[in-house]
Structure 1
Amino acid sequence: MKAIRKYPMITVTLLIGGLVLLLSILGLETVAQWIASAFAVAAGLQRGTGMVREMIHGRWGVDVLAVTAIASTIAVGEYVAALIVVLMLYGGSALETHASGRAKAELHALLARTPQIAHREVNGGLLENVAVTEVVAGDLLVLRPAEVVPVDGLLLSARGSFDESVITGESLPVDMIKGDVILSGSVNGVSAVRMRATASVTNSQYSRIVSLVGNAAASRAPVVRLADRYAVPFTFLALALGGGAWLLSGEASRFAEVMVVATPCPLLIAAPVAFLGGMSRAARNGIIVKSGGTLEQLARIRTAVFDKTGTLTQGRPTLAEVRTAGGPAPVASELEVLGSAASAELHSSHVLAASVVASAQDRGVELSVPSDAVEHATDGVAALVDGCRVVVGKRLFVEASVGPIKEEPLTGGQLAVYVGFDNVYAGALIMSDPLRSNAVKTLDRLTALGIQRTVMVTGDAQTTAEHIAGLAGIAEVLAGCRPEDKVRIVRDLTPGRVMMVGDGVNDAPVLAAADVGVAMGARGSTAASESADVVIMVDDLSKVADAARIGKDTIRIAVQSIWIGLALSVMLMGLAAVGYVPAIAGALSQELVDLATILNALRALKPGERSSGVRGASQ
């Protein structure tokens, strides 16, 4: 009954077909022909109305041939073939709907599990159920076992376990302790826990992902639009071949037979199904691709550019040493330099800021809430801490406030965060941020995928950048770059399309400038960067190579499916033109072509033999 309600025209066509068959058996062939022809004309008129609307919007091809096929088969008395053509048209639409539904399954899974209710603590521990939209930052919430986390927050219970598979693609539960960040959209474990909301639902990570996914599903890729254009010459070819067959043979039935097998459903169905499959496959692997066009761009990338901190490196720097300014009377002690720097960085979104704050807290340093804090993207932070003007960041940034600073000597893999107090240089925090363990393998995989050039563009010191680039196997290093420098560099790079991989916040300008901007946004607001075209939801650099592989697989399968459908249709048209494919057989054959093309396009949902190593490499 559900199928009948969903596809009423298929049901009616089958019932009419059964009635026509029964009348033919009873010897009432004339009545059967009139009933079948009348129904086919009605179906043709319905499709014709849709055809006119499509032509007004500049898209035509499928319905022109379909209506022509119905009219011609009725005209030559092939009423059974006319019914099969009607069934083929509506059956093709049903196949496309089913295939698209399967391809969208991963995307819809995100939408279907969006939480609606939150349990908020009031009056010293009492719970009230409120709509998720009413939750604000600072609210105390209780998560019951197996409930979806409604908003981003911090864990208040001593321990908790959460399933983040829908968000990050990580299949194993994540164990957390008090103070850890909980992502909205993850699923609580077997025990009830308490949390403090840090964002409203509209500003939480899961809602942003859902928004990105919705936009992705609605997008049309250039290859899909290219397939639309293929329909126009294909239509003229079919009409010319059918007309020629009629003219040469003198039989009008030849024209009808060619029209029956000419409907290019595979041409227009294959590409959208393949792109939806590719985006679903990406979502299942913790990669949000914002549009189908991005998949096509990923397939054409020839140059890959990487930021350093948090991208090629682990993004969790550790404090190796605190160096105070030299001289007989140091401006501040080591703990004062660390504490003031951490206080100034307290509200910063940069990965180094979180490490500085964590290092101070681990050493028991009491922090002060800063005022007048201003963050200068990629350079540092200036803030008022306990009445003292503190500047923290790169050497050139701090020099602008305190005067010339001698560059701190560093060993491989180290970087320096400079600190100034009230226009005087106070010291430096020496941080160490090692290379990601899978960086070398990821770059090797990108090279195997056709990336011809890899470049590191970073604002860090030359020696540190060269050390990390050498470990990763990147020959080209551009250090000491400001945001505007990165944009200029990326725009000037060749060959081919350029992909920029960064952290999604501090690299927002250059992510927007690249042909494909990839944000490493495993945790926090970086996942929702409006500048990025691709958002990596799991803290795994290998997903960048996965995204490139998915893009290549999707384009290959989409184009392959288009040409398979075209080749089979042209072959059948040629056979029909010389009289080897009767109208009824042609109609049935075209339905098989549709099915074969759609099944091939659905291969974009899963990695095949060529890409089976991708998943293994990212584990």
Structure 2
Amino acid sequence: MLWVRANARRYPLVAITLVIGVASAAFGIAGMPEVAQWLCTGWGVVVAAMQGWGMLRDLLRGHWGLDVLAVTAIVATILVGEYVATLLIVLMLTGGEALEDYAAGRARRELTALLERAPQLAHRVVDGDAVEDIPATDVRVGDELLLRPSEIVPVDAVLLSGSTALDQSSLTGESLPVEVHEGDDLLSGSVNAEAAVRIRATATAADSQYQRIVALVEEAAESRAPVVRLADRYAVPFTAVALLIAGLAWWATGDPVRFAEVLVVATPCPLLIAAPVAFMGGMSRAARRGIIVKGGGVLEQLAAARTAVFDKTGTLTTGTPTVDAVRAEPGVDPATLLTLAASAEQYSSHVLAASIMSAARDRGLALRPASRASERATFGVEAAIDGQQVVIGKLAFVREHAPDAHETELARGELAIYVAIDGRFAGSIVARDPVRENAAATIAALHAAGTRETVMLTGDAWPTARHVADELGIETVRAECLPGDKVEAVRALPHRPVLMVGDGVNDAPVLAAADVGVAMGAKGATAASESADVVITIDDLSRTVDAVRIGRDTKRIALQSIWIGIVISVALMVIAALGAIPATIGALAQEAVDLVTILWALRAIRGGARPGATAPERRGRMEEYA
């Protein structure tokens, strides 16, 4: 009930139209059709006047849409006494505007999650050692701040002493922690890892990296060109043909009723209804596939996409480092090496610790407790396990305990964790952020679906980025990008519309800047999801291809529905111009046209059969709804 009241207040024209419809039906059943006709006619006059004023302003601005024919049709149905048709046209007109208004309101909520995640608190150091909590917005350049473990860096700053590791994945897309030392810069929005450190603010909150991301999202969203409604593209020719036939009929017969009779069967309901029904069907179909599409215009853009752009970390790759190989020295059992390494990593807060422990468990290895363990932040762990001294971490750290430790050979995109046991080098564990299993197939499928170019934008280093691109067959690569660099790169792409797929806060601006932003939202990347036009709720990259195919199927069916309505309406207009269709019969015939176009448009819910579709595609569509 509350939802009904809220929407009635938000969309009063729709609510009044529905109430008048119910009241008119009641009066008709009660044997008072004159009252029902006066209700519908009076409301039709009011809406026609309101829409006519808006139509006039649009015409003065050079925009010609379906509203012109809709207003003319309302007036025509009033003149010939077809009050039911009047109310139906009013409902289609006001209902369509309500849907468009809802979509615009949702677009204004894009930044909610991004703003909520912005750093809110800072710990300012005063009088040497005392600490006071202040809002991040109160931090001034030069303030000394305390940054505790797992806290977000509140403003851009420089590290004053010691060292730590920062998770910058939300800013740069880099999945591995970045080590920073005294004098290094820290970006706001980064997450501190293990050690409490002191930093000095180099910018206010408003001028820091995270707030620049927010500003980029706002700017990109506001600068995006609006999508022209599909049906509006047919408004001018259809209106011109309808008025021409009606005018010729009036001129030839001298009877103004003939003009109204033609316009009764020329109501734009097929155009007003067909495309929205088809696009709503397409969005319903997409939702069943775990794809949330934020509006019919998005489906249109998906259908026409010519360039596909991908973030790397978490999009083309899993975003979680995994153990790729265990390289034990001669005489050392690989299983023992991994067991001891994983047991020591139980006492580490490093992101790779979880990967090593997971690798051990996957191999059925039981982790052992340590009688003593200590971690040197960003360097490694030393632990006593089963009477053995186990050291794991960076090569330099391990060499302090095992001088014979040596570097292992790595391919692009790999990194190594070194292990020593009882003062001797035992081997290394090689990890990588693997590409998704279906990433290459997804790229190939997008090419097959009509995209001309694939691009990868990432904050990773060039060697890693180039390795992933070569593996997946991506033509263009830009590495070491900050969010602003990605936005500029997308804006410069020549083949449009541009489809951008990403996740995380760092992708929010570029998702908003692209013609169609697709967020891999399964892992909770809320900021990316709110900035995107499409959200994939299942952690499956191939759903990007599904979204493009659904967009193309939906647009094809919408166009078919529009053309079916146009052809039948024009035929009826010609017949009505000859005087063979009275106004009442014409109104009923127009309702039949509406029904045909709606039924055809509803095929978008299942996709229909595309001309030339292959057998596997048809089987895939059948499996989708099994």
TM-score interval, normalised by the smaller of the two chains: 0.5 to 0.7
1:298 aligns with 2:332: no
| Correspondent of 2:45 among 23, 45, 48 | 48
| Correspondent of 2:75 among 68, 79, 97 | 68
Give the aligned partner of residue 584 of structure 1.
Answer: 584
Please report how far the alpha carbon of residue 15 of structure 1 lies from its aligned counterpart in structure 2 after TM superposition.
7.2
Secondary structure of the residue aligned to 1:65 is: helix
- Look up the equivalent residue of 2:516 and give its one-letter code: V
The answer as to whether partners of 1:88 and 1:591 remain within 8 angstroms in 2 is: no
Cα distance between partner residues in 1 of 2:394 and 2:294: 33
Cα distance between partner residues in 1 of 2:267 and 2:23: 21
1:511 aligns with 2:511: yes
The answer as to whether partners of 2:565 and 2:597 remain within 8 angstroms in 1 is: yes
Please report how far the alpha carbon of residue 309 of structure 1 lies from its aligned counterpart in structure 2 after TM superposition.
3.4
Write out aligned runs for 1:258-337 (5 A). 258-320=262-324
Cα distance between partner residues in 1 of 2:446 and 2:249: 51
How has the CA–CA distance of structure 1 residues 365 and 572 changed in structure 2, closer, same or farther, with 3 Å as cutoff? Answer: farther
Which has the higher mean CA deviation after the structures are superposed, 586-595 or 56-65?
Answer: 56-65
Which has the higher mean CA deviation after the structures are superposed, 599-608 or 8-17?
Answer: 8-17
The answer as to whether partners of 2:44 and 2:90 remain within 8 angstroms in 1 is: no
Secondary structure of the residue aligned to 1:530 is: helix
How has the CA–CA distance of structure 1 residues 68 and 222 changed in structure 2, closer, same or farther, with 3 Å as cutoff? Answer: same
The answer as to whether partners of 2:453 and 2:475 remain within 8 angstroms in 1 is: no
1:243 aligns with 2:247: yes
Which has the higher mean CA deviation after the structures are superposed, 64-73 or 590-599?
Answer: 64-73
Write out aligned runs for 1:135-534 (5 A). 222-224=227-229, 227=231, 231=235, 234-235=238-239, 237-320=241-324, 343=348, 345=350, 355=355, 358=358, 409-411=409-411, 414-416=413-415, 430-526=430-526, 529-534=529-534
After superposition, the C-alpha distances for 1:46-72 in whole angstroms (9 at most, x for unaligned) are 111122223344483355234432343
What is the TM-score when the length of structure 2 is the normalising length?
0.56
How has the CA–CA distance of structure 1 residues 243 and 484 changed in structure 2, closer, same or farther, with 3 Å as cutoff? Answer: closer
RMSD of Structure 2 on Structure 1 (CA): 4.9
Q: Could you list the runs of 5+ residues in structure 2 that have no partner in the other structure?
A: 1-15, 59-66, 107-224, 329-336, 383-392, 396-405, 419-426, 611-616
After superposition, the C-alpha distances for 1:114-138 in whole angstroms (9 at most, x for unaligned) are xxxxxxxxxxxxxxxxxxxxxxxxx
Cα distance between partner residues in 2 of 1:536 and 1:608: 23
Cα distance between partner residues in 1 of 2:588 and 2:78: 18
Cα distance between partner residues in 2 of 1:448 and 1:71: 52
Cα distance between partner residues in 1 of 2:525 and 2:42: 52
The answer as to whether partners of 1:10 and 1:90 remain within 8 angstroms in 2 is: no
Cα distance between partner residues in 1 of 2:357 and 2:342: 12
Please report how far the alpha carbon of residue 480 of structure 1 lies from its aligned counterpart in structure 2 after TM superposition.
4.6
Please report how far the alpha carbon of residue 267 of structure 1 lies from its aligned counterpart in structure 2 after TM superposition.
1.4
Cα distance between partner residues in 1 of 2:574 and 2:587: 14
Cα distance between partner residues in 2 of 1:19 and 1:615: 49
Please report how far the alpha carbon of residue 450 of structure 1 lies from its aligned counterpart in structure 2 after TM superposition.
0.9
After superposition, the C-alpha distances for 1:535-579 in whole angstroms (9 at most, x for unaligned) are 211121110101111222222233333333233222211221122
- Look up the equivalent residue of 1:411 and give its one-letter code: A
Give the aligned partner of residue 423 of structure 1.
Answer: none
Secondary structure of the residue aligned to 1:262 is: coil
Secondary structure of the residue aligned to 2:265 is: helix
Please report how far the alpha carbon of residue 438 of structure 1 lies from its aligned counterpart in structure 2 after TM superposition.
2.4
1:564 aligns with 2:564: yes
How has the CA–CA distance of structure 1 residues 408 and 47 changed in structure 2, closer, same or farther, with 3 Å as cutoff? Answer: farther
Give the aligned partner of residue 138 of structure 2.
Answer: none
- Look up the equivalent residue of 2:71 and give its one-letter code: V
- Look up the equivalent residue of 1:608 and give its one-letter code: G
- Look up the equivalent residue of 1:61 and give its one-letter code: V
Cα distance between partner residues in 1 of 2:553 and 2:246: 36
The answer as to whether partners of 1:302 and 1:451 remain within 8 angstroms in 2 is: yes
Which has the higher mean CA deviation after the structures are superposed, 231-240 or 573-582?
Answer: 231-240
The answer as to whether partners of 2:518 and 2:535 remain within 8 angstroms in 1 is: yes
The answer as to whether partners of 1:48 and 1:63 remain within 8 angstroms in 2 is: no
Please report how far the alpha carbon of residue 461 of structure 1 lies from its aligned counterpart in structure 2 after TM superposition.
4.9
How has the CA–CA distance of structure 1 residues 614 and 409 changed in structure 2, closer, same or farther, with 3 Å as cutoff? Answer: farther
How has the CA–CA distance of structure 1 residues 360 and 221 changed in structure 2, closer, same or farther, with 3 Å as cutoff? Answer: farther
- Look up the equivalent residue of 1:50 and give its one-letter code: V
Secondary structure of the residue aligned to 1:282 is: helix
Cα distance between partner residues in 2 of 1:550 and 1:250: 50
Give the aligned partner of residue 552 of structure 1.
Answer: 552
The answer as to whether partners of 2:274 and 2:558 remain within 8 angstroms in 1 is: yes
How has the CA–CA distance of structure 1 residues 431 and 510 changed in structure 2, closer, same or farther, with 3 Å as cutoff? Answer: farther
Please report how far the alpha carbon of residue 590 of structure 1 lies from its aligned counterpart in structure 2 after TM superposition.
0.3
The answer as to whether partners of 1:319 and 1:429 remain within 8 angstroms in 2 is: yes
The answer as to whether partners of 1:302 and 1:497 remain within 8 angstroms in 2 is: yes
The answer as to whether partners of 1:500 and 1:517 remain within 8 angstroms in 2 is: yes
Please report how far the alpha carbon of residue 315 of structure 1 lies from its aligned counterpart in structure 2 after TM superposition.
3.9
Secondary structure of the residue aligned to 1:519 is: strand
- Look up the equivalent residue of 2:414 and give its one-letter code: L
Please report how far the alpha carbon of residue 83 of structure 1 lies from its aligned counterpart in structure 2 after TM superposition.
5.5
Cα distance between partner residues in 2 of 1:448 and 1:594: 35
Cα distance between partner residues in 2 of 1:531 and 1:418: 37
The answer as to whether partners of 1:504 and 1:532 remain within 8 angstroms in 2 is: no
Count of paired positions: 428
Cα distance between partner residues in 1 of 2:500 and 2:576: 52
Secondary structure of the residue aligned to 1:456 is: strand
- Look up the equivalent residue of 2:600 and give its one-letter code: N
Secondary structure of the residue aligned to 1:538 is: coil
Cα distance between partner residues in 2 of 1:446 and 1:342: 44
The answer as to whether partners of 1:227 and 1:271 remain within 8 angstroms in 2 is: yes
Please report how far the alpha carbon of residue 483 of structure 1 lies from its aligned counterpart in structure 2 after TM superposition.
4.4
How has the CA–CA distance of structure 1 residues 556 and 246 changed in structure 2, closer, same or farther, with 3 Å as cutoff? Answer: same
Please report how far the alpha carbon of residue 523 of structure 1 lies from its aligned counterpart in structure 2 after TM superposition.
2.5
Secondary structure of the residue aligned to 1:222 is: coil
Secondary structure of the residue aligned to 1:507 is: helix
Cα distance between partner residues in 2 of 1:37 and 1:234: 33
- Look up the equivalent residue of 1:551 and give its one-letter code: G
Please report how far the alpha carbon of residue 246 of structure 1 lies from its aligned counterpart in structure 2 after TM superposition.
1.6
After superposition, the C-alpha distances for 1:194-222 in whole angstroms (9 at most, x for unaligned) are xxxxxxxxxxxxxxxxxxxxxxxxxx983
After superposition, the C-alpha distances for 1:92-123 in whole angstroms (9 at most, x for unaligned) are 789x89xx9xxx9xx9xxxxxxxxxxxxxxxx
Secondary structure of the residue aligned to 2:535 is: strand
How has the CA–CA distance of structure 1 residues 63 and 496 changed in structure 2, closer, same or farther, with 3 Å as cutoff? Answer: closer
The answer as to whether partners of 1:297 and 1:515 remain within 8 angstroms in 2 is: yes
The answer as to whether partners of 2:282 and 2:554 remain within 8 angstroms in 1 is: yes
Cα distance between partner residues in 2 of 1:482 and 1:222: 28
Which has the higher mean CA deviation after the structures are superposed, 460-469 or 492-501?
Answer: 460-469
The answer as to whether partners of 2:265 and 2:569 remain within 8 angstroms in 1 is: yes
Cα distance between partner residues in 2 of 1:288 and 1:383: 43
Please report how far the alpha carbon of residue 249 of structure 1 lies from its aligned counterpart in structure 2 after TM superposition.
1.3
The answer as to whether partners of 1:9 and 1:90 remain within 8 angstroms in 2 is: no
